[in-house]
Structure 1
Amino acid sequence: MARLSDVIEAFIKDMLESSKEPKLQIGRNELASHFSCAPSQINYVLTTRFTIDKGYYIESKRGGGGCIIIKRVACNSNKNLLNIIIEKIGNNITYNSAIQIIDGLFEADIITERECNILKTVTNDRTFNESVEDKNRLRAYILKSAIFVIFNEID
């Protein structure tokens, strides 16, 4: 059985795909009511599943009941997206954060499933030698290097 977070994510993505607009405006409280959950559960899904590195931009509007606007990032230039991702990686990155970026690239059809699996393997802690002291720094270097190669082939 799917977790509630997965169900909410799928529901929002279906709404985005079926929308004729490049953005989706939803009421957080209404969505929480629909799924019989706390509004904080909706916030959790939005902040973890709809991030800029996964190709989404979230705006919150307060007042009058409030609403959330979800936009699919439409980068006019792959260099813009590349800069966003490289900035997100920084000088070190955890494996879980790397996975989010890698999955976002796959969902955005920038990398294939095979490339996705390769990137996950080469950034995994088990891939690094036990003597590597700063795995997160090495992981960031490897991930940035691979992403530069991927984006150079796109342009």
Structure 2
Amino acid sequence: MSNITDVIETYLKKVIQNTNHKAIEIKRSEIADRFECVPSQINYVINTRFTVERGYLVESKRGGGGYIRITRITNEDKAKLIDEIIEMIQPSVTQQATIDILERLLEEEIITKREARIMVSAIDRSTLAFQLPVRDEIRSRIMTAMLTALKY
């Protein structure tokens, strides 16, 4: 059984997918009412599931007519996408950001589930038994090497 966070994420992704513009504007309170949850739950979903690493741009406008705009970042050129990700993860990257990136690469069908599992095991904090910030720097180097290999 999915939790409410997964249900809200799936709903918002379907709404984005069904639009021609790959962007939606939502009101936090309306979505909260729809799923019978508190508005802060919507914030949590947006802040954790719709990140740049996962391929989304989020803008918000506060106030009475306020909204949250979620835009899916699309990139037809896979090599260019990989280059942008490499730039984003330099000079260091956290484990969670890396996992988000790998989920995006899975969604974009750039890597397989098996490749994602291998990559996750290589960048896991238990594998990289170093103190911060060295661990995040080494993770960045490993991810950069793996992403560069994917381009060719």
TM-score range, shorter chain: 0.7 to 0.9
Question: Is 1:7 paired with 2:7?
Answer: yes
Q: Distance in 2 between matches of 1:70 and 1:145?
A: 31
Question: Is 1:98 paired with 2:98?
Answer: yes
Q: Distance in 2 between matches of 1:2 and 1:52?
A: 24
TM-score (norm 1): 0.83
Compared with structure 1, are the counterparts of its residues 44 and 84 closer, same or farther at alpha carbon in structure 2 (3 Å cutoff)?
Answer: farther
Task: Tell me the residue number matched to 2:113.
Answer: 113
Task: Tell me the residue number matched to 1:74.
Answer: 74
Task: Tell me the residue number matched to 1:127.
Answer: 127
Amino acid at match of 1:61: K
Q: Distance in 1 between matches of 2:41 and 2:20?
A: 27
The answer to whether the 8 Å contact 1:54/1:107 transfers is no
Shift of 1:36: 1.9
TM-score (norm 2): 0.84
Shift of 1:49: 0.6
Shift of 1:76: 5.2
Q: Deviations over 1:72-92 (max 9, x none)?
A: 112254455334322332322
Identity %: 37
Amino acid at match of 1:90: Q
Q: Distance in 1 between matches of 2:33 and 2:6?
A: 17
Q: Distance in 2 between matches of 1:125 and 1:62?
A: 38
Compared with structure 1, are the counterparts of its residues 96 and 120 closer, same or farther at alpha carbon in structure 2 (3 Å cutoff)?
Answer: same
Shift of 1:119: 0.7
The answer to whether the 8 Å contact 1:53/1:84 transfers is no
Superposition RMSD on alpha carbons, in Å?
2.1
Equivalenced residue count is 150
Moved more, 37-46 or 4-13: 37-46
Shift of 1:39: 1.7
Secondary structure of 2:144's counterpart equals helix
Task: Tell me the residue number matched to 2:19.
Answer: 19
The answer to whether the 8 Å contact 2:59/2:70 transfers is yes
Question: Is 1:55 paired with 2:22?
Answer: no
In structure 1, list runs of 5 or more residues that go unmatched: none
Shift of 1:46: 0.9
Amino acid at match of 1:149: A
Secondary structure of 1:52's counterpart equals coil
Shift of 1:93: 2.3
